[in-house]
Amino acid sequence: MMRIGIVVFGALALSPMAASAQEREFCSDRPGMGTPACTVSPGQVYVEAGIGDWTLERSAGERDDTFLAGDFLVRYGVADHAEVQVGWTALGFSRVRDSAAGSVQHRSGTGDVTLALRRNLADPDGSGFSVAVMPFVTLPVGREPIGAGDWSVGALVPLSYELSDKLNIEATTEIDAAVDEDGSGRHLAFSEVVGASLQLAETLTATAEYQVMADHDPQGHQVQHLSGLSLAWQPGKNLQFDVGANAGLDRDAPDVEVYFGLSRRF
């Protein structure tokens, strides 16, 4: 299944760009920790892929490196103000090093499938003041350490406001019935992302973000704080490349995450 997904995405990415004029500005979910409020134009498709993603988490005597490849998201516009989404992580690797025991554990697996509907409530093209609601469900088709082990549901409320042609502020509120750490059952989790995007040049945009997450897992409650910085380069109307990094601001958050990917509109 992973090979099929890679072949299909490669064929799409290399196909000629659509010749017809686009009604809306390019609006990808990538990069960054937040979610845009804009929706895909009716009948159009976005294919977005995280090509590489590395996350480092360190605790007392232990180091955990997680690598993801082929983190796909397909978005399809079903109405002027609504889109449907399918997301799936094709492959992930985890390496846990225990310095006290002198052991290294390697694991790999695929991720779960996420189905979502984004319903825009104001300005679906993302201009001016834009807001949307986005319920989603995650299906446990993957396996550890990438898959969660059980189903989960949640909802996001993204909003954005254009202060000028070059500066945009954004916020994303998320509440989940997240899977417990042991892979059985669910608990309440909450996240809030705030950020600002600045157009540095005609084809280059930088985004700075802050995120706070509260996770009420039965194994132990955590509150994590992270900061993020990302760059998006758009060489054409229908193609975007991105790179970004997130840094943990407390001991509960992952130490660092570095990622890069691309988005393509059809």
Instruction: Give tens-digit pLDDT for 179-212.
Output: 998 888 899 999 999 999 999 999 999 999 999 9
> Domain for residue 67, yes or no?
yes
> Domain for residue 114, yes or no?
yes
Looking at the chain, the whole-number percentage of residues with pLDDT higher than 90 is 83
DSSP the chain: -HHHHHHHHHHHHHSPPP-SPPSS----S-SSSS--S--PPBT-EEEEEEEEEEEEEEETTEEEEEEEEEEEEEEEEEETTEEEEEEEEEEEEEEEEETTTTEEEEEEE---EEEEEEEEEE-TTS-SEEEEEEEEEEE--S-TTTS-SS-EEEEEEEEEEESSSSEEEEEEEEEEEEEPTTSSSEEEEEEEEEEEEEEEETTEEEEEEEEEEEEEETTEEEEEEEEEEEEEEEEETTEEEEEEEEEESSTTS-SEEEEEEEEEE-
Q: What is the pLDDT of residue 196?
A: 98
> Domain for residue 20, yes or no?
no
> Which residue range forms the structural domain that includes residue 90?
2-14+30-265
For the cut 90, the answer to whether the pLDDT of residue 27 exceeds it is: yes
CA nearest neighbour of 202 among 18, 32, 23, 26 = 26
> Domain for residue 177, yes or no?
yes
- Kindly state the average pLDDT of the residues 96-117: 92
In this prediction, residue 23 has a pLDDT band, given cuts at 50, 70 and 90, of low
Q: What is the pLDDT of residues 207-246, one digit of tens each?
A: 999 999 999 999 889 999 999 999 999 999 999 999 999 9
For the cut 80, the answer to whether the pLDDT of residue 21 exceeds it is: no
Q: What is the pLDDT of residues 57-89, one digit of tens each?
A: 998 889 999 999 999 999 999 999 999 999 999
- Kindly state the average pLDDT of the residues 147-152: 92
For the cut 60, the answer to whether the pLDDT of residue 13 exceeds it is: no
CA nearest neighbour of 123 among 170, 157, 155, 159 = 159
Q: What is the pLDDT of residues 91-105, one digit of tens each?
A: 999 999 998 788 999
Q: What is the CATH number of the domain that holds 231?
A: 2.40.160.40
> Domain for residue 19, yes or no?
no
For the cut 50, the answer to whether the pLDDT of residue 30 exceeds it is: yes
- Kindly state the average pLDDT of the residues 139-163: 94
224 Cβ neighbours under 8 A, 6+ residues apart: 211, 212, 213, 215, 248, 250, 252, 253, 254
In this prediction, residue 42 has a pLDDT band, given cuts at 50, 70 and 90, of very high
> Domain for residue 261, yes or no?
yes
> Domain for residue 21, yes or no?
no
pTM, entire model: 0.87
Q: What is the pLDDT of residues 171-181, one digit of tens each?
A: 999 999 999 98
Interatomic CA distance for residues 239 and 262, integer angstroms: 7
Q: What is the pLDDT of residue 184?
A: 82
> Domain for residue 260, yes or no?
yes
Strands 62-79 and 82-98: antiparallel
Q: What is the pLDDT of residue 93?
A: 94
Number of domains in the chain: 1
Residue 40 near residue 75, CB atoms below 8 Å:
yes
